[in-house]
A and B are shown apart, each in its own frame.
Chain A
Amino acid sequence: MNPTDRAEHAVDHAAAAARFVADDARAHWHDQALWWVRKKRDVASSAVPDWELLRDAAAGIKAHTLSRLAAYLEQFEQQATSRGAQVHFARDAAEHNAIVHRILSERGITKLVKSKSMLTEECHLNPYLEARGVTVTDTDLGERIVQLRHEPPSHIVLPAIHLKKEEIGELFHAELGTEKGASDPKYLTEAARGHLRQRFLEAGAGLTGVNFAVAETGGVVVCTNEGNADMGTTLPPVHIACMGVEKLIPRWQDLAVFTRLLARSATGQPVTTYTTHFHGPRPGGELHIVVVDNGRSRQLADPTFRRSLSCIRCGACMNTCPVFRRSGGYSYGWIVPGPIGSILAPGRDAAAHRSLPFASSLCGSCTDVCPVRIDLHHEILAWRQEIVRRGLLPWPKRAAMKVLAVVLRFTWLYRLAGWLVRRVVPLLPRGLVYGRFNGWGKQRELPPMPRESFRDAYRRHRART
């Protein structure tokens, strides 16, 4: 067993997806909502004449960066420090959380406003801080909605995509005192605006994620549409920016490539509303940059799965994925769901997330839309092989594979098996054929058994001509 195969409780994607699709109308609604975003992405990307060249460039920049990550990290640290930022290093989630808490507690700060950061979700920062007396407010509207519901985000860009406006209306009625039964998005957004402004004004520090960290200049770049990261970093005097080490890019000029790709891929916008570049703290303020490894350096060593470190978290692979759209973000049981999550999650804990690489039709649509050209469906397939190699496949599948391997090894056995199946299956009672071992028969009928094998049909055809 690999050291990462230590899961206590495994995520069962298929079982979770079955619960999701049990509400047929809602599953279709979710599917259509995401497909609409995918179509907006298509319109935006096709309006850019050099789109494919941009993807090539982005993939090239990321590959180059990963090949010199240590050097760029040193350069970034040196530049950022020279501009007055304090750079911290965390080997894992526990160190990351402790660093953030120390920064807050040393300054007596008990109120933190956060803009979207998947890294802090990955590290479970919120419960860690709340247990230590810090009030944490997620300020992205979607994030605030799921925080008030005590849920994780179901999508990395659209955290509340699984919810209907009526549910949000009820939530806001209970939590923010909006009118009962009101569900107009404009009205609800206005209520959240007022509520969040109060939180921004009271906060002692603002925490943000990082979209890009530029080695050449020592700056970090944060992209939002709502402006919540800007509210959270311009009002409180302390800014904490948390980044995975893979967020580094070498040059200032590289930002042009990624800012052209990110929002178009994510939501079909030509660029995010606010693209903010931080170099050092503001006068009289503090900028802390926390650089986190948490398994990323280990992934770097793996030639098969290294490329998925290039991910810029646009969410395009989720919006296009036929499985994600029809099974929902929660069915993946990991903070980053969808195709990219199906690669990243088993990399952290293969046993716990062994079902995720099978949550794919391997259609390759994710690979087609990925702005940094990650070979997503190839890596998902490679993970399936890895799951088998590590002995993590559940026993029915393992047994079926063993039987199949023997049958396919001997021609006579294969022919005999075919003959048997063609003759025996039509005679079996329905309850047996569509029993619990036949996952394929759950929502579909098996085709009628052919009377002869392909081999026989071919021979007959040849004899006639």
Chain B
Amino acid sequence: MPGREELLAVLRRNAPRETPPPDLSRLGVKYADPLEQYALSLKGVGGACLRAADLPAAERALAELPACREARRVVTLVPGLGQGNVDLASLSRPHLLEGLDLAILPGDLAVAENGAVWVDASRLHHRAVFVITQHLVLVVNAVDVVHDMHEAYARLQEQPIGYGLFISGPSKTADIEQALVIGAQGARSCTVVLVG
């Protein structure tokens, strides 16, 4: 590729004197109660946080939610939680997920500073499920709430890197006169259940 060689050569020729990368070890924020801060942050981005001692308790809490009660087509990838009736592996195309009411997915960790949950979406048979669903429930172990993004990325570095994302609350937009509207293109609601 001529473009490649030329670009690399110009970038080398035009590079300024090398500067060292900065030390990131002094960065970060620590909260007295990260779980409480997590719930606060999630509320701030339009999501809702539920605490449950164990999975049966989580099941009871979810049953109260209108988004779960009224859902007809449901995917659940958290064993023992929710009444799943759509099997991702049985669908030939992700497009068939259009019209899905609820997805209940496991999250690897939750971040207190911004309400985000890391979802390792490479494990999903159809990746679209987290965004095409009308409502989203993410389930995270309470011990996996970290303080900030530095801690989150450090933890994630230990697992194989593939396709994953931070989800912080429901899909939203403020593109019309800066008026916040929840439910732009993805999930209309995002409930995070912290278990344990």
- Cα-based distance from A52 to B94 in the complex (angstroms): 43
Contact across chains for B176 and A276 when beta carbons are under 8 A apart: no
Q: What sequence of 0s and 1s flags, for each residue 101-143 of chain B, a beta carbon within 8 Å of any chain A beta carbon? A: 0000000000101111000000000111011100000000000
Q: Is A228 a contact partner of B24 (Cβ separation < 8 A)?
A: no
CA gap between A259 and B167 in the complex, in Å:
12
Q: Are A145 and B45 in contact (CB under 8 A)?
A: no
- With beta carbons under 8 angstroms apart, the residue of B6, B21, B186 that contacts A226 is B186
- Other A-B contacts than A145-B176, A190-B183, 17 sampled, CB-CB below 8 A, are A53-B26, A54-B27, A57-B24, A67-B19, A68-B18, A141-B176, A142-B175, A197-B98, A230-B131, A231-B185, A253-B150, A255-B149, A256-B24, A275-B116, A275-B165, A276-B164, A297-B11
- What would be 19 A-B contacts, judged by CB atoms less than 8 Å apart? A50-B26, A61-B21, A64-B18, A67-B16, A77-B4, A158-B178, A161-B178, A185-B176, A185-B179, A197-B98, A201-B98, A230-B130, A235-B95, A256-B24, A256-B153, A257-B27, A271-B115, A272-B168, A301-B14
A426 to B21, CA, bound (A): 61
Q: What residues of chain A lie closer than 8 Å to B44, measured between beta carbons?
A: 270
The 5 closest A-B pairs by CB, nearest first: A227-B186, A60-B22, A270-B114, A142-B175, A234-B128
Contacting pair A282 B7 (CB below 8 A) = no
- Nearest opposing residue in chain B for A307, CB measure: B16
Residues 1-23 of B, flagged 1 when their CB comes within 8 A of A and 0 if not, give 10110111111111111111110
Which residues of chain A are within 8 angstroms of B27 by Cβ–Cβ distance?
50, 53-54, 57, 256-257
A67-B170 Cα distance, complex, nearest whole Å: 39
Task: Report if A270-B113 is in contact (Cβ < 8 Å); known contacts: A33-B178, A260-B149, A297-B7.
Answer: yes
CA distance A272 to B165 in the complex (A): 11
A260 to B153, CA, bound (A): 12
Task: Please indicate the chain B residues that have their CB under 8 angstroms from the CB of A234 in the complex.
Answer: 94, 126-128, 131-132
- A217 surroundings in chain B (CB, below 8 A): 161
Closest chain-A Cβ to B133's Cβ sits at a distance in Å of 10
- The verdict on A160 contacting B7 (CB below 8 Å), with A201-B98, A225-B184 known, is no
**Interface residues of B, dominant DSSP:** loop
Q: Is A416 an interface residue (CB 8 A)?
A: no
A66 within 8 A of B: yes
Cβ-defined contact, B29 with A306, below 8 A: no
Q: What CA separation (Å) do A74 and B9 show in the bound complex?
A: 11
In whole Å, how far is A436's beta carbon from the nearest beta carbon of chain B? 37
Residue from the list A70, A139, A186 in contact with B181, Cβ < 8 A = A186
Pick the interface stretch among A89-97, A342-350, A395-403: A89-97
* B29–A225 touching, CB < 8 Å: no
Which residues of A lie under 8 Å from residue B170 when comparing CB positions? 273
A159 to B175, CA, bound (A): 7
Give A residues with C-beta under 8 Å from B. Answer: 33, 36-37, 48-50, 53-54, 56-57, 60-61, 63-64, 66-70, 73-74, 77, 88-91, 95, 139-142, 145, 158-161, 163-165, 168, 185-186, 188-190, 193, 196-197, 201, 217, 219, 225-228, 230-231, 233-235, 245, 250-257, 259-260, 267, 269-280, 282, 291, 293, 297-298, 300-301, 303, 306
Report chain A residues within 8 Å CB of B45: 269-271, 273
Number of interface residues of B (CB under 8 A): 75
- Interface positions, chain B 150-196, Cβ under 8 Å from A, are 150, 152-154, 156-157, 161-179, 181, 183-187
Could you tell me the distance in whole angstroms from the C-beta of B16 to the nearest C-beta in chain A? Answer: 5
The listed residue (A231, A251, A255) touching B186 by CB distance below 8 A is A231
B17 & A67 in contact (Cβ 8 Å cutoff): yes
Contact assessment for A256 and B175 in the assembled complex, using a CB-CB cutoff below 8 Å: no
Q: Which of B10, B171, B177 contacts A33 (CB 8 A)?
A: B177
- Docked-complex contact B11 and A160, CB < 8 angstroms: no
Bound-state CA distance A276–B57 (Å) is: 31
**B12:A273 contact, CB within 8 angstroms:** no
B76 at the interface (CB under 8 A from A): no
The residues of A that contact B18 with a CB separation of less than 8 Å are 64, 67-68
A50 with B29: CB separation less than 8 A: yes
Bound-state CA distance A78–B44 (Å) is 40
